Chain A
Amino acid sequence: MDYVVVLVLQIIYGIANLALIGLGLAIIFGMMRVINLAHGEFLMLGGYAVVVSTNLGVNIWIAMLVLAPLVVGIIGVVVERVLIRFLYGRTVDTLLATWGLSLFLVGIVTAIFGPQTSTTISPPIGAIAVGDYASSGYELFLILLTLALFGAVFAVLRYSRLGLLARGTMQRADMAAALGVSTSRIYMITFGLGSAVAGLAGGVLAPITGVVPTIGATYIAKAFITVITGGTAILAGTATAAGLLGAMNGIVTFLTGPTVGEVALLAAAIVLLRLMPSGITGRFFRKSL
């Protein structure tokens, strides 16, 4: 029985993990249709923000929950101003530009910190006992954090004036502009928000995955698969896709092994996209956010 509880927790964590690394991308790609290939590097920068600031003596919670999103959000705004804003509507060009950006970020971080980085920060929450088994308290925290983050993004988009303007701008930029909305500013803020969410994800994952300049490569494929499988509704899509793919990956990994588990995740994504080419929310939950 304890074992079942531990297993279920583990699968939920796998789902939360996918949702967490995908959410920032969902905002940037799902809402703005900007294929951000530097998303993995935004997560990496979030991790570095935490490592550098904790080494300077900052409290780890402040570093993870405040500094990481702040730093990466600001970087995102700068990137949008100097690079992305010239490329809206030019999908292939943004793809190349953000790929270049990802190589640039890996290069500059390697130049500053070297190819290996000491991440001697342990998860700030220890193990918790579930009967005879131990479960990671930090993973439990990450599950709750992911839920809270989805709630926060939902609240901002659904109930705030900014969210309304952002949704309007993404649907009909010309009409929004005619009504007096500064669409350029909305794009900038939305991109910054997506980057900040990515930074937060990278920051909180740093204590359990560690950071190296190339760590982004391990996130990027899964983030894209989750978001594309999710479809147009960014929150419902990311959540359902993460749920399906994460559960698939977790269960198969338990039954067989990690290699087949990874294959199962990819196979599930392919089948889902074959049946629903515009993603899960292209068919279900179409009106949701």
Chain B
Amino acid sequence: MILNRRALLKATSVSALGLAAPALIRSARADAPIKMAALLDQSGGLDLLGTPMLEATKLAVKEINAGGGLLGRQIDLITYDPQTTIQFYTQFATQAAAGEHVDVVQGGITSASREAIRPVLDRFQTLYFYNTFYEGGVCDSNTFCTGSTPAQTVEKLVPYAMKKWGKKVYVVAADYNYGQITSEWVKKYVRDNGGTTVAVEFFPLDVTNFGPTIKKIEAAKPDFVMSALVGAAHISFYRQYAAVALNKSIPIASTVFTVGGEHTLVAPEESEGMLVSFAYFEEIETPANKKFIADLRANASKKINYVSEVTARSYEGVYLWAEGVRKAGTTERTAVIKALRSPVGVDGPSGKLTIEPKTNHLLQNIYLAEVKNQKLNIVQSFPAQPPTDTLLVCDLNAKPDQATFYFENGLEAAGIK
């Protein structure tokens, strides 16, 4: 490239304008719509979760707009379909933040997608809400993780299952960061409750033949199996497990099952009796939840099979953010973050939610449920549970300037025994 004086001047003045432009535009058009981006897979495998999550996001935006909008302005929802491809996540996050100058991004489903877009949104100073349950450990002043974490769910599930079935546990998990880290939490809680983990096995996401492992489980004779298997291919584990009638003698508890409505995808006897724990189930018997389910199904453009935590939390995530904006009286990022951490709370379909300011996670209700004839029968509930896993490593009050994922290299690296 030949660089002459004129070209150089032109280039620098344009880039200077470019830097100043967002501020100019924002202050100039106060009545323009507030922009929200949603990055949720609508195709390519994870559409199984992404489709209902986007419908829930749309419903929340529609309700807020119908109620007069936010600060007298309408919310303009811009949706992207990352197609279950990490590369598109990065691309669309950049587009939303740098191109569209959105005020908030909601989305990301897998931990891998979250870790792809979180640095991008940090760099472009765009507020980020991640609404999926995950392995815990994100400590980022710009990111709000509204899903449940292992200290909220696994910590309840493991002792309950051990009390019910026994102390010998066999762990099967998906072979990527969620499965790896979650299985470490399982081992920790099994040990804390005086039990033993017989073995831990990891499966690549495209494995469909679980025969060898099922035989190993049969030989190891654990009291129950703890599963953190993820995705469509892994559902075959439950089918093949039931095909040798092992589900009658060695029951299963899972940290993932039912989130994609899996219990309605397999035969009733294949999922009967399984234990799961989440921050939300469709079966929660409150008027607020019944209204949410009815409205969601009535407004959805596609059929929604089962409404699980990720779907409800995508809806509640929008309301949490909206509450922050309302309290701040502006969409300016630092003011909204301050307001959110003051802290704000909302009453959603899952119950009362409050932001926990040390971690930007949530105090939330946790439910334990048993699969009964393809329905979830809630057996126990725990109100306002703190994210104690992330609290072990993260304190944004003491050290606000952080954007770290502490559990990236496992729990031991994070100093948790």
Residue positions of A touching B, CB distance < 8 A: 3, 6-7, 10-11, 13-14, 17, 107, 110, 114-123, 126-127, 133-136, 138-139, 205, 207-210, 212, 214-215, 217-219, 221, 250, 253-254, 257-259, 261-262
Q: Which residue of A lies closest to B238 (CB)?
A: A210
Partner of B239, one of A14, A210, A214, A221: A210
Look across to chain B and name the residue whose beta carbon is closest to the beta carbon of A7: B215
Q: Which residue of B lies closest to A256 (CB)?
A: B201
A139 touches B211 (CB 8 A): yes
Q: Which residues of A contact B201 (CB under 8 A)?
A: 257-258
What's the least CB distance linking B256 to chain A, in Å? 14
Known contacts being A116-B260, A217-B206, A218-B233, is A133 close to B215, with CB within 8 Å? yes
Answer whether residue B51 sits at the interface, using C-beta atoms and an 8 A cutoff: yes
Residues in B257-276 with C-beta less than 8 Å from chain A? 260-261, 264-270
B98 close to chain A: CB less than 8 A: no
Interface assignment of B242: CB less than 8 Å from any CB of chain A: yes
B residues contacting A by CB (< 8 A) are 43-45, 47-48, 51, 175, 201-204, 206-213, 215-216, 218-219, 232-233, 235-236, 239-240, 242-246, 260-261, 264-270, 302-303, 305
Q: Which of A121, A136, A250 contacts B244 (CB 8 A)?
A: A136
Jot down 5 A-B pairs with beta carbons below 8 A, ordered by A. Answer: A121-B267, A134-B218, A210-B235, A212-B45, A254-B212
Q: Is A122 a contact partner of B244 (Cβ separation < 8 A)?
A: no
Known: A118-B305, A126-B243, A254-B216. 9 other contacts (CB 8 A): A3-B215, A14-B212, A17-B209, A120-B267, A134-B218, A210-B235, A212-B48, A215-B232, A258-B207
Nearest opposing residue in chain B for A211, CB measure: B232
Q: Which residues of B contact A261 (CB under 8 A)?
A: 212
Closest to A207 in B: B239
Is A118 touching B213 in the complex (CB atoms < 8 A)?
no
Min CB gap B257→A, angstroms: 13
User: Could you tell me the distance between the alpha carbons of A6 and B215 in the complex, rounded to whole angstroms?
Assistant: 8
Measured CB to CB, the closest approach of chain A to B33, in angstroms, equals 30
Taking a contact as CB atoms under 8 Å apart, the answer to whether A127 and B216 are in contact is no
| Closest 6 pairs (CB-CB, A-B) | A127-B245, A115-B47, A253-B212, A209-B236, A212-B232, A218-B206
- State which of B202, B208, B244 has its C-beta within 8 Å of the C-beta of A135: B244
State whether B244 touches A127 (Cβ < 8 A): yes
Specify which chain A residues have a CB less than 8 angstroms from the CB of B235 in the assembled complex: 210
Residues of A within 8 A of B175 (CB): 258-259
Q: A127-B243, A218-B206 are in contact. Are A258 and B213 (CB under 8 A)?
A: yes
Question: Bound complex: CA of A149 vs CA of B44, how far in Å?
Answer: 33
A223 CB to nearest B CB, Å: 12
Looking across the interface, which residue of chain A has its beta carbon closest to that of B302?
A: A114
Nearest CB in chain B: distance from A267 CB, A: 14
How far, in Å, is A39 (CB) from chain B's closest CB? 15
| Residues A110 and B47 in contact in the complex (CB < 8 Å), given A120-B267, A139-B211, A215-B232 | yes
In the bound complex, CA of A118 to CA of B292 (Å): 24
Which residues of chain A are near B303, meaning CB under 8 Å? 114
Q: Hey, which chain A residues are within 8 Å of B218, CB to CB?
A: 6, 133-134
Q: Which residue of A lies closest to B232 (CB)?
A: A212
Residues of chain B within 8 A (CB-CB) of A17 are: 209
Instruction: Give chain B residues whose Cβ lies under 8 Å from the Cβ of A117.
Output: 265
B249 to chain A minimum Cβ distance, whole angstroms, is 9
Give the most central of B44, B235, B243, B245: most A CB within 10 Å. B243
The answer on a CB contact under 8 Å between B232 and A120 is no
CA distance A121 to B48 in the complex (A): 20
